[in-house]
Every structure is written in C-alpha cells, then in structure tokens.
A and B are shown apart, each in its own frame.
Chain A
C-alpha cells in the first residue's frame, strides 16, 4: 500500500500526514489527525453528519478525498 505525504491546513494548523490517494478526508481527519468532530454517518453524502468547512464552503468530508484538500486555505470543523 503506497502512501503519500500531504500537508493539510486544519483549524488553522498545518498538519502533515501520510495518506493513500484513496483515503477520504473524513477518515484522515478522524484517524491520523484525531479530530472526531466530523462524524461518519451514511458515508454516501446523504446525511450530513460529516459536514465541515473548506475554504469557506460547507463540504461533506465523506465526499472529498484527502488529497483534494491539499492547498485549501482553511479547513475548520464546524462547532
């Protein structure tokens, strides 16, 4: 299993993690980064329990690859 090093800007902190290209942002936030505010619900983009804010827009973290989040200015979990 090949992993890539990426740096994510999460809650105004630069966090470097090793991810598979296929890893969902939701799983990366919860597992290696330990940020459990985004909840795994339907994992199909329907329920919204994993909603976060990316570059000022709400996003479902289960519908986003972690590698897609590279370079985004801000990723802050909603309260």
Chain B
C-alpha cells in the first residue's frame, strides 16, 4: 500500500503535460511524471519516493512511436520494454532489454522509466551511450533534440518540468558489431553484478558499464587503454580497470573485489569476441 495521497492526471499532449507540470509545481504539489509507474509504486510503498501529483505520460501519442522511418529508429519513451523488444528494431537494445527484470515486469517497465530510474542499473542506457543516439525532450518551450551521450551523465539530465519523449537511433548503427554481457552472482534473473556492452567501430572498441559503479557510464580513458595495441590483452584490461571513474559497488550482490574480478573476465571475453581469440 502506498501511504501518501496524490492527484492523478493523464494528459493527451506534450504541451498539456508540461503546462500541467508547471501549474502543479506552482501550487506546491511537487509533481512527478511517470510512464510505467513501477518505481512510484515500489519506492512509494516504502516512502523512498513521494509526490503530491502524478502526471501519467501514457496518454501522449508521441511517447508511443515505435518505427523505422528509413533513416532513424524512433522509440517512444512510454513504450514498454516488451513492446520495444517484440518490434525488433534495434537488436543491441533488445539484448540489454531481455535481461532486465522478468518478462511480466517488462510489460510494465518503459524505456523512459528505465533511463530515468532511481535504481542504479538503467541498462537501456548502455546501447545508447555506444551509438550516436539522440533524445527528444519535452520542455516548456517545446521539443528539443540532443545527443544522448551529452544528456546522460550517469542519469538523464532533465531540467525541472522536462520529460523524455523519444529516443532516436540512426539506422546506420544497426551494422555496428556489438557485444552485451550481463553477469549475475547466480541464476538467470535478479539484479546483476555487472552489465558490459561494447561495440567495435573503425577498429576501435568502445565500452559501457552498468552495475559496476553507482551509475551507468562510458569512459574514454578506459577505452584508450583497451585500444592500446602496444600492450598485451591482460595489460590493456588492467590499465583500463585502474581508470574506473568512481568507486566500484560493494553490496550484498557482490563485493567490489569480486566485481573487479568479474569485470576483468568479462573484458577478456569482450575483447576476444570483438577482436578474435588470437589477438595479443
């Protein structure tokens, strides 16, 4: 049971939603946008999240786009992870999606919800960090399109009253070789120790992580070491691990030492996959 009370609104357009947010904010309701609303429920139940007014984005048609237009793949932020996966438009993202929560939960969790989640994993960010994806954001002044990598600094950087409408991925990204590996302590469901996604572009490997630190990230210094072919594979990986940009998570799912061990093995697998077993 959610103990606090809130007002519930389901606007039918972007402008209605942003206007509503502004008026509710001025009224001191501390409004919040939701699409899947799973975090509102799970965190609200334990009073870790609270709002006086909920704005449900599931009434806005732009948030449900799911198509290829000949140049780009357009993914609406309020689409469920299941629908995005079933559409099969972006295999790299599908690989990340298929291992989030379980199938029934993915019927409710949305792309926008995962990208803006409070939970540290936000795995759908990884393929977007590694491709030239863009985000369409609704603000008081209208829609704006920005590079995903610029707008995602551990979490999607949104100003008050803004919300994510769509993610746009160039169709040319479909040709880029990719790897996505999720490692758990055991079994095939549950929270991950570490998710690693990588692509190879123009002979260079680019890599992004979730579950390693308290936020998903891609780090250029780590990538520089991983692509330094004057070193052995083992040295490249060790140097890259030294450059992890924040403390490695140390929790009930795995100690930071164990995560580092798993990271080392995973990076070895990733390099082998993208460069071939014989690479030194």
A58 within 8 A of B: yes
Scan A45-60; emit 1 where CB is below 8 A from any B CB, else 0: 1001001000001111
Interface positions, chain A 1-49, Cβ under 8 Å from B, are 1-2, 4, 20-24, 27, 43-45, 48
Interface positions, chain B 132-179, Cβ under 8 Å from A, are none
B37 contacts across to A, CB distance below 8 A? 63-65, 68
Band of interface residues on B? 20 to 34
Q: Is the CB of B108 within 8 A of A60?
A: yes
Q: Identify which of B4, B38, B82, B104 contacts A22 (C-beta below 8 A).
A: B4
Closest to B40 in A: A65
Scan B30-70; emit 1 where CB is below 8 A from any A CB, else 0: 00000001100110110000000010101000000000000
Query: Nearest Cβ in chain A — how far from B257, in angstroms?
Result: 27
Q: Is the CB of B107 within 8 A of A58?
A: yes
Secondary structure at chain A's binding surface: helix, strand, loop or mixed?
mixed
B105 within 8 A of A: yes
A20 to B3, CA, bound (A): 10
Q: Is the CB of B4 within 8 A of A45?
A: no
Secondary structure at chain B's binding surface: helix, strand, loop or mixed?
mixed
Given contacts A57-B107, A59-B107, A60-B105, contact A67 B1 (CB under 8 A): no
Closest to A25 in B: B41
B242 within 8 A of A: no
Q: Is the CB of B5 within 8 A of A60?
A: no
B87 within 8 A of A: no
Q: Identify which of A4, A20, A45 contacts B42 (C-beta below 8 A).
A: A45
Query: Nearest Cβ in chain B — how far from A39, in angstroms?
Result: 14
Closest to A48 in B: B104
Scan B7-31; emit 1 where CB is below 8 A from any A CB, else 0: 1100000000000000000000000
Among B7, B8, B37, chain A packs the most CB atoms within 10 A around the CB of: B8
Q: Identify which of A48, A51, A68 contacts B56 (C-beta below 8 A).
A: A68
A60 contacts across to B, CB distance below 8 A? 104-105, 108
Closest to B108 in A: A63
B41 contacts across to A, CB distance below 8 A? 24, 45, 62-65
B2 within 8 A of A: yes
A53 to B7, CA, bound (A): 26
Closest to A45 in B: B105
Q: Is the CB of A24 within 8 A of B104?
A: no
12 A-B residue pairs with Cβ-Cβ distance under 8 Å, sorted by A, are A1-B5, A21-B5, A21-B7, A22-B1, A22-B3, A22-B4, A23-B2, A44-B45, A51-B104, A57-B107, A63-B37, A68-B37
17 new A-B contacts at CB < 8 Å, known A51-B104, A59-B107: A20-B5, A22-B3, A23-B1, A24-B41, A27-B1, A44-B45, A45-B41, A45-B101, A58-B104, A63-B41, A63-B105, A63-B108, A64-B37, A64-B41, A65-B37, A67-B8, A68-B56
Give 7 nearest A-B pairs by CB, closest first: A22-B2, A21-B8, A58-B104, A57-B107, A67-B8, A63-B38, A63-B108
